[in-house]
Structure formats: structure tokens, C-alpha cells
Amino acid sequence: MSYINVILHAVWGTKNRHPFLTKQIRREVFQHIAKYANEKGIKVDRINGYHNHVHCLFRLDSKLTISKVLQFLKGESSYWINQNKLTPNKFEWADEYYVGSVNPYDLIKIRSYIDNQEKHHNKKTFDEEWESLMNNDPLT
């Protein structure tokens, strides 16, 4: 039997970086994404974020591509947010996203980083964080 251990850290934002994701909405949306991912066979390890973006740590299996996973998670969640009228205006995710591979030895550090998004974003904006990701800078 083959064993695949590909761990990915994905980050995506709201369209135009609009701060739709209040604390209450985040909790509902992240629970929904995790539940939906599980139904699709996507093993989410962590999911969290802040007012205008999401961090998701998941394992990729052999049946899905990265783009398909992100299409499932972003597409279905935006549909669900709009169907349940969680935001006053039409909700959309931005088209772009970041996905990077995670060394299993760095899991504790990445989990902590994702778990502490509110604290992290008291010091650094999402735009600054995004720039760091695009430049392959360490997450700090």
C-alpha cells in the first residue's frame, strides 16, 4: 500500500481584502469549511484566520490536486456564506491563493502560527504577511 504524506499550508483572502470575517462569522465559516473538507476526504489539520483571510493546514491525498482542493474549499464556502446571509453584501474570496509545502518537523511551529492569527495580526497586516509568503520569508 502506498503512503502519501504531503502537508500543505494554504492562505487565501476575501475579495478586495474586505474585512467580512468577524469573530463570529470566522468561527462558523471555519467550522463549515472543516466539515465540508472532511466530507470531500480532505484532511484539515488546522484552520484559522483573521478579518480578511484564512490559513488552512491540510494533507493532500493522491486523488486531488491542490487547485481542486482550493476550488472546493473556496467555492463551496462562499456559496454557503451567501446562502446563509452571513454578510450584509455578496461575499467572495479573492481569486489568488498561496500554498506551500510544510516539512513534518515544522508542524508544531505552523500549527501555532495558524492558531495565533489574532495575536499575530496585532503586529502585522495581511498585506505584510502576504508579501512575506510571496518572498518565501519565514512566518513570524
**What digits encode the pLDDT tens for the residues 31-53?**
999 999 999 999 999 999 999 99
Residues of the chain with pLDDT below 50 are none
Quick one: pLDDT at residue 5? Answer: 86
- The correct answer on CATH 3.20.20.140 for the domain covering 6-134 is no
Look up cell 463570529; give the residue: 24
The pTM assigned to this predicted structure is 0.91
Of 23, 26, 59, the C-alpha closest to 44 is 59
Domain ranges of the chain: 6-134
Quick one: pLDDT at residue 120? Answer: 84
Quick check: 10 and 70 in contact, CB under 8 A?
yes
Of 77, 67, 25, 69, the C-alpha closest to 43 is 69
